[in-house]
Amino acid sequence: MLAFIRRSILLGIVTAVVLLVVFPELRTKMIQPKVSLTTIQTDQPQLSYNFAVRRASPAVVNIYNRRYNAEDRLKLSTQGLGSGVIMSDKGYIVTNYHVVAKADQVIAALQDGRIFTAQLIGKDQRTDIAVLKIQAENLPVIPLSPDYKPAVGDVVLAIGNPYNLGQTTTYGIISATGRSGMSFYGRQDFLQTDAAINDGNSGGALVNTRGELVGINTASYQQTTDIETYGISFAIPYELTQKIMNKLIADGRVIRGYIGIEARDINPVMARLYDAEQVSGIIVMGMDPNGPAAKAGFKVQDILIEIDGKKVTDRRNVLDIVTELRPGNSVEMKVLRNGQVTTLSVLIADEPNGY
């Protein structure tokens, strides 16, 4: 029996040796290949917004709103916080009106650790913009691109100081452009985004994937309406921000033209009712009795078709044209009255209460 087992074992070994000689590839399969730790090369780039953040974030500052203590007029206490954007190497910083509106002192903290007391240059409630100035050198300035036009679907990054946690970046897309008639800010146009904007983000930068300024973050819909919503936030477009900033630097406030009319947009049906072939224009429905339009001879049901050589399209267009007119200047306006074009000279006034 033992001899039989030995013969079986010997036969098995001989058979294995023969198989390895005849089929050498079996030898490689018996040996485990060495594990390689070499990184797999791929042509697919990693999706990252680090370049944009590194380019824009140094110009976004933390804003601290300080007020005198009611019980001790010599004591300042921090009442609120927000963010701001350095727009110029001369030290001009844009933030939100609501961030600094009630402040007795404003502190700007830069990302490089420098802290400054900021001077309030001017503020505008309608657009929720305020301009500050600090005395400093070697300031990081936000990259600007006047050629960039925001479009729905563009990826954007919101940079700010939410809840005083420190600089934070959130991302999303532009959900809509030209949002006007917001009850919380009047008639200005805003960008809508789903990038998260929380308390402390106000006044921070909304930038594109190149790190260029798209707008100034102002609020989320939830913050302004107390309605529980998510993914609906607003920013002041760069072009409007720049325009208001320049006005505040020049005059300390935004001077807007005023003519004192109430009007409705005209449509083809209304044009037929008023026996007017002209469709583009607005219909005067009422006037400030002491306003420039009334003094110039405007009448209810006049159709305003041209202001200072510019064609009128709708109420939004009229508001934009009139607010840019300088008070004290006389401007020719054309109206359609009883089918006839009449030219009126209107002395532009300063908008009452700056609003």
| Residues placed in the known binding site for substrate | 259-264
In the residue annotation, 98 being an active-site residue is answered as yes
Distance between alpha carbon 265 and the CA centroid of its chain, in Å?
28
Catalytic residue among 175, 202, 220, 233: 202
Planar angle of CA 207, 151, 89, nearest 5 degrees:
30
Q: Considering 57, 83, 124, 128, which one is annotated as catalytic?
A: 128
Give first-to-last CA distance, the chain, whole Å: 113
Number of H-type helices and E-type strands within the chain: 9, 20
Catalytic residue among 57, 83, 98, 189: 98
Q: What's the burial of 205, exposed, middle or buried (CB within 10 Å: 0-12/13-18/19+)? A: buried
| Alpha carbon distances (Å) from 345 to 293, 348, 351 | 9, 9, 18
Gap between the Cα atoms of 279 and 154, Å rounded? 34
Write down the residue that tokens 């300042």 correspond to: 76
Token pair in block for residue 161: 């100081």
The secondary structure of residue 84, as a DSSP letter, is E
Task: Please indicate whether residue 128 is annotated as part of the active site.
Answer: yes
Catalytic residues: 98, 128, 202
